[in-house]
Chains A and B, each alone.
Chain A
Amino acid sequence: MSDTTFMGVPRDKIPWFPTIDYDKCNYCMECDTFCPHRVFERREGDRKLVVANPNHCVVFCRACSKTCGPDALSFPNKTEILALIKQIRAEESAK
Protein backbone atom coordinates (compact mmCIF):
# COMPACT_ATOMS: atom_id res chain seq x y z
CA MET A 1 0.00 0.00 0.00
CA SER A 2 3.04 2.31 0.09
CA ASP A 3 2.20 3.38 -3.47
CA THR A 4 -1.14 4.80 -2.34
CA THR A 5 -1.99 8.37 -1.49
CA PHE A 6 -3.98 10.12 1.21
CA MET A 7 -5.64 13.36 0.17
CA GLY A 8 -3.36 13.39 -2.86
CA VAL A 9 -0.18 13.03 -0.81
CA PRO A 10 1.98 9.89 -1.18
CA ARG A 11 1.28 7.79 1.89
CA ASP A 12 4.94 7.25 2.68
CA LYS A 13 5.37 11.02 3.17
CA ILE A 14 2.82 11.03 6.01
CA PRO A 15 4.31 9.77 9.30
CA TRP A 16 1.02 8.53 10.77
CA PHE A 17 1.24 5.15 12.45
CA PRO A 18 1.17 3.72 15.97
CA THR A 19 4.18 3.54 18.24
CA ILE A 20 4.33 0.69 20.75
CA ASP A 21 5.50 1.46 24.28
CA TYR A 22 7.20 -1.82 25.11
CA ASP A 23 7.30 -0.96 28.80
CA LYS A 24 3.50 -1.06 28.79
CA CYS A 25 2.64 -3.65 26.11
CA ASN A 26 1.52 -6.99 27.57
CA TYR A 27 1.33 -8.71 24.15
CA CYS A 28 -2.36 -9.41 24.45
CA MET A 29 -2.46 -8.92 20.64
CA GLU A 30 -5.86 -7.21 20.76
CA CYS A 31 -4.59 -4.49 18.41
CA ASP A 32 -3.24 -6.99 15.89
CA THR A 33 -6.43 -9.02 16.04
CA PHE A 34 -8.49 -5.89 15.51
CA CYS A 35 -6.55 -4.11 12.75
CA PRO A 36 -7.72 -5.23 9.30
CA HIS A 37 -4.82 -3.48 7.55
CA ARG A 38 -1.99 -5.71 8.79
CA VAL A 39 -0.10 -2.81 10.36
CA PHE A 40 1.27 -5.07 13.09
CA GLU A 41 3.15 -8.34 12.86
CA ARG A 42 3.80 -10.95 15.51
CA ARG A 43 7.40 -12.03 15.99
CA GLU A 44 9.46 -14.45 17.99
CA GLY A 45 11.79 -13.05 20.65
CA ASP A 46 11.51 -10.30 23.24
CA ARG A 47 9.39 -7.98 21.14
CA LYS A 48 6.57 -10.25 20.09
CA LEU A 49 4.73 -7.48 18.27
CA VAL A 50 6.08 -4.84 15.90
CA VAL A 51 4.70 -2.12 13.63
CA ALA A 52 5.80 -3.87 10.46
CA ASN A 53 3.76 -1.97 7.88
CA PRO A 54 3.39 1.63 9.05
CA ASN A 55 2.12 2.84 5.68
CA HIS A 56 -0.80 0.45 5.86
CA CYS A 57 -2.16 2.49 8.78
CA VAL A 58 -5.19 4.59 7.82
CA VAL A 59 -4.21 8.21 8.32
CA PHE A 60 -5.99 9.73 11.36
CA CYS A 61 -7.35 6.33 12.47
CA ARG A 62 -6.50 5.50 16.10
CA ALA A 63 -8.91 2.63 16.52
CA CYS A 64 -6.27 0.10 17.59
CA SER A 65 -5.35 2.28 20.56
CA LYS A 66 -8.96 2.05 21.73
CA THR A 67 -8.55 -1.71 22.06
CA CYS A 68 -5.36 -1.40 24.11
CA GLY A 69 -5.95 -2.08 27.80
CA PRO A 70 -2.45 -1.10 28.98
CA ASP A 71 -2.52 2.09 26.86
CA ALA A 72 0.69 1.12 25.07
CA LEU A 73 -0.11 2.63 21.65
CA SER A 74 0.40 6.27 20.76
CA PHE A 75 -0.01 8.34 17.61
CA PRO A 76 1.42 11.61 16.32
CA ASN A 77 -0.33 14.92 16.86
CA LYS A 78 -3.21 15.23 14.37
CA THR A 79 -2.88 18.99 13.96
CA GLU A 80 0.79 18.69 13.05
CA ILE A 81 0.13 15.89 10.56
CA LEU A 82 -2.69 17.85 8.92
CA ALA A 83 -0.42 20.89 8.61
CA LEU A 84 2.21 18.69 6.97
CA ILE A 85 -0.33 17.28 4.51
CA LYS A 86 -1.50 20.78 3.58
CA GLN A 87 2.10 21.91 3.14
CA ILE A 88 2.92 19.02 0.80
CA ARG A 89 -0.26 19.62 -1.19
CA ALA A 90 0.63 23.29 -1.55
CA GLU A 91 4.15 22.44 -2.69
CA GLU A 92 2.84 19.94 -5.22
CA SER A 93 0.29 22.35 -6.66
CA ALA A 94 2.95 25.08 -6.96
CA LYS A 95 5.09 22.89 -9.20
Chain B
Amino acid sequence: MTHAILSCNGLDKPEGSVAREVAIRAAAATGSEIICPVLLHRAPARYKKALSENAVIVVDGCSTRCASKLAESLDIKVDRKVLVSDVLKSSGIALEPTLNLGPNGVGLAQAVVDGLLQSLNASSEPAPSAVSSVVFAPPTEHLVVTHDKFEFRIPVADYMFNENDVWVRAVDDVARVGISDYMQQSLTDINFFDAPKTDAVVDQFGELGSLESAKAVFEIIAPASGTVVAVNAEVVANPGLINEDPYGKGWLVEMKLTNWPEDRELLLKPEAYAKTVKHKAEEA
Protein backbone atom coordinates (compact mmCIF):
# COMPACT_ATOMS: atom_id res chain seq x y z
CA MET B 1 0.00 0.00 0.00
CA THR B 2 1.26 3.48 -0.83
CA HIS B 3 0.82 6.46 1.46
CA ALA B 4 0.33 10.19 1.49
CA ILE B 5 1.65 12.11 4.49
CA LEU B 6 -0.20 15.13 5.87
CA SER B 7 1.94 16.89 8.44
CA CYS B 8 2.04 19.92 10.71
CA ASN B 9 3.91 22.66 8.86
CA GLY B 10 6.32 23.11 11.75
CA LEU B 11 6.46 26.86 12.15
CA ASP B 12 4.96 27.35 15.61
CA LYS B 13 6.67 24.98 18.03
CA PRO B 14 9.75 22.73 18.10
CA GLU B 15 7.45 19.69 18.14
CA GLY B 16 6.02 20.95 14.86
CA SER B 17 9.48 21.19 13.36
CA VAL B 18 10.01 17.56 14.36
CA ALA B 19 6.70 16.63 12.71
CA ARG B 20 7.81 18.31 9.50
CA GLU B 21 11.10 16.42 9.61
CA VAL B 22 9.24 13.17 10.24
CA ALA B 23 7.13 13.78 7.13
CA ILE B 24 10.19 14.44 4.96
CA ARG B 25 12.11 11.42 6.23
CA ALA B 26 9.12 9.06 6.16
CA ALA B 27 8.24 10.15 2.62
CA ALA B 28 11.82 9.50 1.48
CA ALA B 29 11.83 6.08 3.13
CA THR B 30 8.48 4.95 1.73
CA GLY B 31 8.16 6.83 -1.55
CA SER B 32 5.09 8.63 -0.19
CA GLU B 33 3.77 11.99 -1.30
CA ILE B 34 3.83 14.86 1.19
CA ILE B 35 0.64 16.88 1.51
CA CYS B 36 1.31 20.54 2.36
CA PRO B 37 -1.34 21.55 4.91
CA VAL B 38 -1.43 25.17 3.79
CA LEU B 39 -1.90 24.31 0.14
CA LEU B 40 -4.40 21.58 1.01
CA HIS B 41 -6.42 24.15 2.94
CA ARG B 42 -6.19 26.70 0.12
CA ALA B 43 -6.63 24.37 -2.85
CA PRO B 44 -7.81 20.88 -1.85
CA ALA B 45 -8.24 19.84 -5.47
CA ARG B 46 -4.44 19.87 -5.79
CA TYR B 47 -4.27 16.72 -3.69
CA LYS B 48 -7.50 15.01 -4.71
CA LYS B 49 -5.70 12.22 -6.60
CA ALA B 50 -3.07 11.63 -3.94
CA LEU B 51 -5.67 11.47 -1.18
CA SER B 52 -7.97 9.15 -3.08
CA GLU B 53 -5.26 6.70 -4.15
CA ASN B 54 -3.20 6.47 -0.97
CA ALA B 55 -3.64 5.61 2.68
CA VAL B 56 -3.21 8.84 4.61
CA ILE B 57 -0.77 9.23 7.50
CA VAL B 58 -1.24 12.33 9.67
CA VAL B 59 1.72 13.68 11.64
CA ASP B 60 0.78 16.24 14.30
CA GLY B 61 3.38 18.15 16.26
CA CYS B 62 1.40 19.09 19.37
CA SER B 63 -2.02 18.53 20.86
CA THR B 64 -3.50 21.41 18.92
CA ARG B 65 -3.54 18.74 16.18
CA CYS B 66 -3.84 21.17 13.28
CA ALA B 67 -3.15 18.48 10.68
CA SER B 68 -5.76 16.14 12.19
CA LYS B 69 -8.34 18.89 12.35
CA LEU B 70 -7.65 19.82 8.76
CA ALA B 71 -8.17 16.21 7.72
CA GLU B 72 -11.43 16.11 9.68
CA SER B 73 -12.67 19.32 8.14
CA LEU B 74 -12.11 17.93 4.65
CA ASP B 75 -13.53 14.47 5.42
CA ILE B 76 -10.20 12.83 4.69
CA LYS B 77 -10.09 9.22 5.84
CA VAL B 78 -6.98 8.73 7.94
CA ASP B 79 -5.16 5.40 8.06
CA ARG B 80 -2.87 6.21 10.98
CA LYS B 81 -1.69 9.09 13.11
CA VAL B 82 1.45 10.14 14.92
CA LEU B 83 1.54 12.79 17.63
CA VAL B 84 5.10 13.96 18.18
CA SER B 85 4.45 15.52 21.60
CA ASP B 86 3.22 12.15 22.91
CA VAL B 87 6.32 10.37 21.61
CA LEU B 88 8.46 13.12 23.11
CA LYS B 89 6.93 12.60 26.55
CA SER B 90 7.60 8.88 26.55
CA SER B 91 11.07 9.19 25.01
CA GLY B 92 12.76 11.17 27.77
CA ILE B 93 14.44 13.30 25.09
CA ALA B 94 14.99 16.99 25.92
CA LEU B 95 13.93 18.79 22.76
CA GLU B 96 15.86 21.96 21.91
CA PRO B 97 13.53 25.01 22.30
CA THR B 98 14.06 26.30 18.77
CA LEU B 99 12.44 25.77 15.40
CA ASN B 100 15.80 24.81 13.89
CA LEU B 101 16.21 21.17 14.84
CA GLY B 102 19.19 20.36 17.03
CA PRO B 103 20.67 16.89 17.50
CA ASN B 104 17.93 15.88 19.93
CA GLY B 105 15.20 17.04 17.56
CA VAL B 106 16.75 15.12 14.68
CA GLY B 107 17.09 12.06 16.89
CA LEU B 108 13.47 12.32 17.96
CA ALA B 109 12.34 12.67 14.34
CA GLN B 110 14.26 9.56 13.33
CA ALA B 111 12.87 7.63 16.30
CA VAL B 112 9.33 8.60 15.26
CA VAL B 113 10.05 7.55 11.67
CA ASP B 114 11.50 4.22 12.81
CA GLY B 115 8.38 3.55 14.88
CA LEU B 116 6.15 4.51 11.98
CA LEU B 117 7.99 2.27 9.51
CA GLN B 118 7.87 -0.60 11.97
CA SER B 119 4.14 -0.14 12.33
CA LEU B 120 3.65 0.02 8.56
CA ASN B 121 5.69 -3.15 8.03
CA ALA B 122 3.83 -4.97 10.79
CA SER B 123 0.43 -4.10 9.37
CA SER B 124 1.45 -5.12 5.85
CA GLU B 125 1.83 -8.70 7.02
CA PRO B 126 -1.40 -10.57 7.66
CA ALA B 127 -1.77 -10.94 11.40
CA PRO B 128 -3.43 -14.03 12.82
CA SER B 129 -6.77 -13.24 14.42
CA ALA B 130 -6.49 -13.12 18.18
CA VAL B 131 -10.19 -12.54 18.71
CA SER B 132 -11.45 -15.00 21.29
CA SER B 133 -13.77 -17.86 20.46
CA VAL B 134 -16.16 -16.66 23.16
CA VAL B 135 -19.58 -15.87 21.72
CA PHE B 136 -20.79 -12.41 22.72
CA ALA B 137 -24.39 -12.45 21.54
CA PRO B 138 -25.85 -9.04 20.64
CA PRO B 139 -27.98 -7.53 23.43
CA THR B 140 -31.69 -7.90 22.87
CA GLU B 141 -33.15 -5.84 25.69
CA HIS B 142 -32.26 -2.29 26.72
CA LEU B 143 -33.04 0.33 29.30
CA VAL B 144 -33.72 3.66 27.65
CA VAL B 145 -32.81 6.99 29.25
CA THR B 146 -34.60 9.90 27.63
CA HIS B 147 -33.45 13.51 27.78
CA ASP B 148 -35.01 16.16 25.56
CA LYS B 149 -35.07 14.66 22.08
CA PHE B 150 -32.29 12.17 22.85
CA GLU B 151 -32.60 8.52 23.79
CA PHE B 152 -29.67 6.65 25.31
CA ARG B 153 -29.79 2.86 25.27
CA ILE B 154 -28.23 0.68 27.96
CA PRO B 155 -28.31 -3.11 27.56
CA VAL B 156 -29.69 -5.01 30.51
CA ALA B 157 -27.67 -8.15 29.90
CA ASP B 158 -24.24 -8.86 31.34
CA TYR B 159 -22.72 -5.45 30.66
CA MET B 160 -21.05 -3.40 33.40
CA PHE B 161 -19.93 0.22 33.14
CA ASN B 162 -17.41 2.55 34.67
CA GLU B 163 -18.48 6.12 35.31
CA ASN B 164 -16.34 7.14 32.35
CA ASP B 165 -18.89 5.65 29.94
CA VAL B 166 -16.94 2.53 29.02
CA TRP B 167 -18.60 -0.89 29.17
CA VAL B 168 -17.13 -4.31 29.79
CA ARG B 169 -18.71 -7.67 29.20
CA ALA B 170 -16.89 -10.59 30.81
CA VAL B 171 -17.15 -14.30 30.19
CA ASP B 172 -14.84 -16.07 32.62
CA ASP B 173 -11.50 -14.29 32.25
CA VAL B 174 -12.14 -12.87 28.76
CA ALA B 175 -13.94 -9.59 28.22
CA ARG B 176 -15.00 -7.25 25.48
CA VAL B 177 -14.83 -3.51 25.99
CA GLY B 178 -16.55 -0.62 24.24
CA ILE B 179 -18.16 2.76 24.85
CA SER B 180 -21.74 3.43 25.77
CA ASP B 181 -24.49 4.73 23.53
CA TYR B 182 -24.50 7.93 25.60
CA MET B 183 -20.81 8.56 24.89
CA GLN B 184 -21.00 7.75 21.19
CA GLN B 185 -23.86 10.23 20.84
CA SER B 186 -21.90 12.82 22.84
CA LEU B 187 -18.88 12.42 20.58
CA THR B 188 -21.00 12.50 17.40
CA ASP B 189 -19.38 10.91 14.32
CA ILE B 190 -16.27 9.03 15.41
CA ASN B 191 -13.61 9.11 12.73
CA PHE B 192 -10.52 7.58 14.31
CA PHE B 193 -9.74 4.81 16.78
CA ASP B 194 -6.21 5.03 18.15
CA ALA B 195 -6.11 1.45 19.38
CA PRO B 196 -3.88 0.10 22.13
CA LYS B 197 -1.28 -2.47 21.14
CA THR B 198 -2.15 -6.09 21.57
CA ASP B 199 -0.27 -7.49 24.55
CA ALA B 200 -0.52 -4.08 26.28
CA VAL B 201 -1.00 -4.53 30.02
CA VAL B 202 -3.50 -2.03 31.42
CA ASP B 203 -4.60 -1.25 34.97
CA GLN B 204 -8.23 -0.55 35.79
CA PHE B 205 -8.85 3.11 34.91
CA GLY B 206 -5.69 3.17 32.79
CA GLU B 207 -5.78 4.20 29.14
CA LEU B 208 -7.04 1.87 26.42
CA GLY B 209 -6.32 4.13 23.47
CA SER B 210 -8.54 6.97 22.34
CA LEU B 211 -11.32 7.90 19.97
CA GLU B 212 -11.53 11.04 17.91
CA SER B 213 -14.49 12.84 16.47
CA ALA B 214 -14.80 16.30 15.02
CA LYS B 215 -15.99 17.31 18.47
CA ALA B 216 -13.50 15.75 20.86
CA VAL B 217 -10.73 13.33 21.69
CA PHE B 218 -12.01 10.70 24.12
CA GLU B 219 -9.58 8.75 26.25
CA ILE B 220 -10.88 5.20 26.65
CA ILE B 221 -10.59 4.51 30.35
CA ALA B 222 -10.17 0.81 31.07
CA PRO B 223 -13.05 -0.65 33.05
CA ALA B 224 -10.90 -3.55 34.22
CA SER B 225 -7.30 -4.65 34.57
CA GLY B 226 -5.81 -7.05 32.10
CA THR B 227 -3.93 -7.64 28.88
CA VAL B 228 -5.23 -6.52 25.51
CA VAL B 229 -5.50 -9.69 23.44
CA ALA B 230 -7.38 -8.39 20.40
CA VAL B 231 -8.36 -5.13 18.75
CA ASN B 232 -11.50 -4.91 16.64
CA ALA B 233 -9.94 -4.51 13.18
CA GLU B 234 -13.32 -3.71 11.63
CA VAL B 235 -13.67 -0.70 13.93
CA VAL B 236 -10.12 0.45 13.18
CA ALA B 237 -11.00 0.38 9.48
CA ASN B 238 -14.46 1.84 9.99
CA PRO B 239 -14.85 3.73 13.30
CA GLY B 240 -18.40 4.64 12.33
CA LEU B 241 -19.38 1.15 13.53
CA ILE B 242 -19.09 2.51 17.08
CA ASN B 243 -21.84 5.03 16.30
CA GLU B 244 -23.95 2.43 14.53
CA ASP B 245 -23.72 -0.36 17.08
CA PRO B 246 -21.79 0.59 20.25
CA TYR B 247 -22.70 -2.56 22.18
CA GLY B 248 -22.27 -5.04 19.33
CA LYS B 249 -20.17 -4.65 16.19
CA GLY B 250 -18.64 -1.47 17.60
CA TRP B 251 -16.72 -3.23 20.38
CA LEU B 252 -13.16 -1.94 20.71
CA VAL B 253 -10.87 -4.49 22.32
CA GLU B 254 -10.83 -7.85 23.99
CA MET B 255 -8.91 -8.29 27.21
CA LYS B 256 -7.72 -11.19 29.30
CA LEU B 257 -8.79 -10.09 32.75
CA THR B 258 -6.39 -10.29 35.65
CA ASN B 259 -8.32 -8.90 38.63
CA TRP B 260 -11.97 -9.15 37.70
CA PRO B 261 -13.49 -10.06 41.10
CA GLU B 262 -12.02 -6.91 42.64
CA ASP B 263 -12.38 -4.67 39.58
CA ARG B 264 -16.08 -5.35 39.19
CA GLU B 265 -16.70 -3.89 42.65
CA LEU B 266 -15.87 -0.48 41.16
CA LEU B 267 -18.26 -0.82 38.21
CA LEU B 268 -21.92 -0.02 37.74
CA LYS B 269 -24.68 -2.39 36.74
CA PRO B 270 -26.98 -1.20 33.95
CA GLU B 271 -29.64 0.21 36.28
CA ALA B 272 -27.09 2.29 38.20
CA TYR B 273 -25.40 3.43 35.00
CA ALA B 274 -28.78 4.57 33.68
CA LYS B 275 -29.05 6.94 36.65
CA THR B 276 -25.54 8.23 35.93
CA VAL B 277 -26.42 8.85 32.29
CA LYS B 278 -29.59 10.67 33.29
CA HIS B 279 -27.59 12.89 35.63
CA LYS B 280 -24.88 13.57 33.03
CA ALA B 281 -27.41 14.42 30.34
CA GLU B 282 -29.14 16.88 32.65
CA GLU B 283 -25.85 18.52 33.65
CA ALA B 284 -24.41 18.74 30.12
What A residues does B12 contact at CB under 8 A?
A: 69
User: Whole-angstrom distance from the CB of B113 to the nearest CB of chain A?
Assistant: 22
Find out whether the CB atom of B64 lies under 8 angstroms from the CB atom of A34: no
Complex-state Cα separation, A28 to B13, whole angstroms: 14
Find out whether the CB atom of A71 lies under 8 angstroms from the CB atom of B62: yes
Complex-state Cα separation, A29 to B76, whole angstroms: 26
| Interface residue B221 (Cβ < 8 Å from any Cβ of A) | yes
| Interface residue A19 (Cβ < 8 Å from any Cβ of B) | no
Find out whether the CB atom of A63 lies under 8 angstroms from the CB atom of B283: no
Find out whether the CB atom of B63 lies under 8 angstroms from the CB atom of A60: no
- Contact residues of A: prevailing secondary structure: loop
Find out whether the CB atom of B64 lies under 8 angstroms from the CB atom of A30: yes
| Interface residue B134 (Cβ < 8 Å from any Cβ of A) | no
| Interface residue B217 (Cβ < 8 Å from any Cβ of A) | yes
Find out whether the CB atom of A65 lies under 8 angstroms from the CB atom of B164: no
Take A66-B219, A82-B204, A82-B205 as given contacts and tell me if A59 and B163 are in contact as well, using a CB distance cutoff of 8 Å: yes
Number of interface residues of B (CB under 8 A): 24
Partner of A66, one of B163, B217, B279: B217
What B residues does A68 contact at CB under 8 A?
A: 63-64
Complex-state Cα separation, A41 to B216, whole angstroms: 19
Find out whether the CB atom of A60 lies under 8 angstroms from the CB atom of B221: yes
Find out whether the CB atom of A63 lies under 8 angstroms from the CB atom of B13: no
What B residues does A69 contact at CB under 8 A?
A: 12-13, 62-64
Take A36-B284, A66-B219 as given contacts and tell me if A4 and B63 are in contact as well, using a CB distance cutoff of 8 Å: no
Find out whether the CB atom of A62 lies under 8 angstroms from the CB atom of B62: no
A-B contact pairs, 13 of them (CB 8 A): A28-B64, A36-B284, A60-B205, A60-B221, A63-B218, A66-B210, A67-B217, A68-B63, A69-B63, A70-B13, A71-B62, A78-B205, A82-B205
A residues whose Cβ falls under 8 Å from a Cβ of B: 1, 4, 6-7, 28, 30, 34, 36-37, 58-63, 65-71, 78-79, 82, 85-86
